[in-house]
């Protein structure tokens, strides 16, 4: 589906018509520049490559600089391809937050916060083993048994164990657009989106 690239600003809350407090996320969306137009004749599929957030040429490769000059724009930090645009766009065109309308539903993708190495209680929601009294030592947050003995004599793949948590691509679906602030390129959606503040996200219709 068609969409744009944005940057997560942070969370806030607004009141609806019934006086209910709604938690919302503010996202700076665009303006995104069309850096490449994919066609069926050349690439085998139709899509638009969009760039967002300027990057200095000093920290860019020659390939990135040359690619951006074809579109007549500066080098972009984040480049993503989107499909399904109804409108016709040319190389170098700019798409802003007015691509979205209030009341519609969007999907937001981003990279979740990295938590490092975590145990099974935090990572998988285990309840913990045993009681806190009656001679219990230090096994409250332990995972317990992870397999059988002589058969199958191994641990099955996919066993929920301690390990690195976070830093994965997460998509949150069907978030309602509560407000579109055109003069500041802001999009206010209901609920939370993955990632830390100032992290890049993609918003799809």
- Domain borders along the chain are 3-116+169-204, 117-165
Run of H or E residues at 28: strand 21-29
User: From the DSSP assignment, how many helices (H) and strands (E) are in the chain?
Assistant: 2, 12
Contact 74, 94 (CB under 8 A): no
pLDDT range class, residue 130, cuts 50, 70, 90: low
Contact 35, 73 (CB under 8 A): yes
141 pLDDT higher than 90: no
Give the CA count within 13 Å in the CB-facing half-sphere of 118.
15
Say if residues 160 and 120 touch (Cβ distance below 8 Å). yes
Are 166 and 61 in contact, with CB atoms under 8 Å apart?
A: no
Tokens read off for 61: 């490769």
- Pick among 2.40.30.10, 3.40.190.10, 2.70.150.10, 3.20.20.410: CATH of 3-116+169-204: 2.40.30.10
Mean pLDDT, rounded, of the chain: 92
> Which phi and psi angles does 78 have, rounded to 5°?
-120, 125
**For the segment 3-18, what is each residue's pLDDT rounded down to a tens digit?**
999 999 999 999 988 9
Residue 129 pLDDT class (50, 70, 90 cuts): confident
* Residue 190: closest CA among 4, 22, 16, 29: 22
Q: Tokens for 122, please give them.
A: 């935090």
What's the CA gap between 79 and 11, in Å, rounded? 25
Residue 87 has a pLDDT of: 85
How far is Cα 121 from Cα 126, in angstroms, rounded to an integer? 4
């Amino acid at each position: 589906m068609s969409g744009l690239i944005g940057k997560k600003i942070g969370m806030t809350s607004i009141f609806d018509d019934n006086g209910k407090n709604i938690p919302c996320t503010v996202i700076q969306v665009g303006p995104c520049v069309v850096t490449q137009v994919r066609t069926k004749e050349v690439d085998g599929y139709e899509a638009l490559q969009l760039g967002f957030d300027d990057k200095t040429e000093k920290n860019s490769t020659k390939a990135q600089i040359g690619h951006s000059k074809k579109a007549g724009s500066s080098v972009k930090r984040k480049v993503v391809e989107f499909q399904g645009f109804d409108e016709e766009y040319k190389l170098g065109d700019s798409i802003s937050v007015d691509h979205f309308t209030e009341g519609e539903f969007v999907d937001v993708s981003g990279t979740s916060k990295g938590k490092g190495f975590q145990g099974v209680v935090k990572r998988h929601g285990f309840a913990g083993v045993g009681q806190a009294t009656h001679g219990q030592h230090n096994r409250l947050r332990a995972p317990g048994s992870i397999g059988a003995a002589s058969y199958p004599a191994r641990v099955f793949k996919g066993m929920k164990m301690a390990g690195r948590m976070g830093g994965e691509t997460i998509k949150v679906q069907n978030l309602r657009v509560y407000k579109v602030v055109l003069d500041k390129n802001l999009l206010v959606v209901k609920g939370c989106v993955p990632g830390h503040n100032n992290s890049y996200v993609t918003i799809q219709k």
